[in-house]
Chain A
Amino acid sequence: MTRNSRITTISLSLLILALAGPLVVGQPFYINIGSQVLIAAIFAMSLNILVGYGGMTSIGHAAYLGTSAYVVALLTLQQGFGFFSASAIALVVVVIMAAIFGAIALRGTGITFLMITLALGQTMWGVAFRWSDVTGGDNGLPDIKRPDLFGLNLVEPTAFYGVMIVLFAIALVGMWIFTQSGLGLSLQGTRDQSRRMGMLGHHVWMVRWIAFIIAGFWAGVAGIAFVGYHGYIHPLSLGLANSAEVLLMVIAGGAGTLLGPVVGAAIVVVLKMVVSAYVSRWVLLLGCTFVAIVILLPEGVVPGLERLLKAVLPAPRDNEEA
């Protein structure tokens, strides 16, 4: 077995162990944390398309999660839609929104792009906060019911967690396929040498725009899971704090790697949910964790650990790893 495939085996085993962990412990508290980690992981993976593979740092990504959650909430609470038909409509809305916002944000690159995404994200937050007749304003929208799925009662934490595992696995495999695909390679090329990519025949702007829409779509999926889990949506979920948090997950875990955002999501959610139960100044601990990551593993936890693993495992012979 080559060194690279050994590292793949190790990470896959760790992932499966981590997914099984909450089920082994068996307490609803930990199973629910598992669900929240997976929702955050899908959200972070969607942002990773932009930040990691596209080199486009967005700080307004919560807008897509939040909008999708609001659409599901409004349609189920006020228009009598079922959860799943509302979810399908939410995804359509989020894709259209990402197409429009992407076209605006991609007028810039780098810091300009970041500022436009921030402005667009805060606009959506403003709408949710101020348009209280429809969105409930600062009260948010409570009492969104979890649906039944194939006879499974999703109010049951274990059933919900099971559905989240399936959804997460689909997202992860989809992301893996995307990064190896023609469009995925093209996107990574535009990150590293956009001018050369244009000369080679790649339509740089269009590639980035499509990536923006795909990222918006998966954030929308995370939004549906989010509102399904909490049964409640508040303007804060659309806001800057949430956008910054998911960006931290991506960067801390390792931008541009498949599992980086997943590990980042786990770190943030576990610190937030578990540690906060014991330590009241848990935000300080979160900050210290990030400082430690930046100092010890500046490329992110996943690439950092991979580097350490490579140092430990024997180096490949030349005819291996080809």
Chain B
Amino acid sequence: MTSDIALQISGMTKNFGGLKAIDGVNLTIPKGDRRLLLGPNGAGKTTLFNLITGDLKPTAGRVTLFGRDITGLPSHHCAPLGLARTYQIITLFPKNTLAENVILSLLGISPLRWSPISRIKGRQEFEERARAALKQVGLEAKADRPLGETSYGEKRRLEIALALAQNPSLLLLDEPLAGLSRQERLDVQSLIESIPRDITLILIEHDMDVALALADSITVMYHGRVICEGDRAQVVADPRVKEIYLAS
């Protein structure tokens, strides 16, 4: 059975001093699922991502990725295990071109990252795959532009390209639409829709129209706890969800 599960989180707790940022979260994501994490600010969604990727060490609880216990493993173990993520705040390499940004991503899963002598630029396996990843997000024409010459919307797409270039099995997207204009939202939405179905997706997003259209299932978090889980109709009908989103 475990082979059908991409990610399992059990009894996850994270305290920041006296604050319980995550409070006993259990979450099971089957392979191929497109899961939306919903919740108001401070619900603990990004903290949960950080606990999965090893940016934070949990106070208690376990994370299992494709049947393998990764609890508390430092974040550089994620990429080889097929786990990639994007960031809510743009986290790219400002001194490099778009292609070089993607090459740093490809390098992260290549043994050449340890070589002090092998020249990376001009290597076909890197250049071609970088361009392919940029093509996937529609930035192929700007491959040789420095990052500073790209728009905010293009940076958002590059964020996704860096994650997709590693051909992950599980992809965590942290507010991929944050700060985008209407048109840019549509572009990124169709980009996310075009991600192959064999990549399991977990998505944090506040734009309900887009998020609900993309997701197969929804988990609602509030004050560090999971309060509701199900498909769109179940979640919308749940009285506690109504209370959080309408009464507060």
| Assembled-state Cα–Cα distance A307/B39 (Å) | 48
Closest to B91 in A: A196
**Complex interface: stretch among A3-11, A150-158, A182-190, A276-284:** A182-190
Verify B115–A181 contact, CB threshold 8 A: yes
B166 part of interface (Cβ distance < 8 Å): yes
Give B76-118 interface residues, CB cut-off 8 Å to A: 76, 78-80, 84-85, 87, 91-96, 103-105, 107-110, 112-118
Please count the residue pairs between chain A and chain B whose beta carbons lie under 8 angstroms apart in the complex: 97
Q: What distance in Å separates the Cβ of B50 from its nearest Cβ neighbour in chain A?
A: 10
Q: Is the contact region of chain B dominated by helix, strand, or loop, or is it mixed?
A: loop
Among candidates A180, A183, A202, residue contacting B76 with C-beta atoms closer than 8 Å: A202
How many B residues are at the interface, by size bracket? 35 or more
Convert B108-133 into 0s and 1s, putting 1 for each residue whose CB lies closer than 8 angstroms to a CB of A: 11101111111111000000000000
Among candidates A182, A192, A196, residue contacting B113 with C-beta atoms closer than 8 Å: A182
B55 part of interface (Cβ distance < 8 Å): yes
Q: What distance in Å separates the Cβ of B76 from its nearest Cβ neighbour in chain A?
A: 5
Residues of B close to A204: CB separation below 8 A: 76
A78 part of interface (Cβ distance < 8 Å): no
B75 part of interface (Cβ distance < 8 Å): yes
Verify B76–A198 contact, CB threshold 8 A: yes
Among candidates A180, A202, A210, residue contacting B107 with C-beta atoms closer than 8 Å: A202
Closest to A214 in B: B116
Residues of B close to A189: CB separation below 8 A: 93, 104
Verify A201–B76 contact, CB threshold 8 A: yes
How many A residues are at the interface, by size bracket? 20 to 34
Verify A200–B114 contact, CB threshold 8 A: no
Q: Is the contact region of chain A dominated by helix, strand, or loop, or is it mixed?
A: helix
A178 part of interface (Cβ distance < 8 Å): yes
Among candidates B92, B103, B109, B120, residue contacting A201 with C-beta atoms closer than 8 Å: B109
Among candidates A185, A188, A200, A322, residue contacting B166 with C-beta atoms closer than 8 Å: A200
A197 part of interface (Cβ distance < 8 Å): yes
B162 part of interface (Cβ distance < 8 Å): yes
Q: Which residues of B are interface residues toward A (Cβ below 8 A)?
A: 53, 55, 74-76, 78-80, 84-85, 87, 91-96, 103-105, 107-110, 112-121, 144, 162, 166
Q: Which residues of A are interface residues toward B (Cβ below 8 A)?
A: 177-178, 180-186, 188-189, 192-193, 195-204, 207, 210, 214, 322
Q: Show 8 residue pairs from A and B whose CB-CB distance is below 8 angstroms, ordered by the A residue.
A: A181-B120, A182-B113, A183-B115, A186-B104, A192-B94, A198-B74, A200-B79, A200-B107
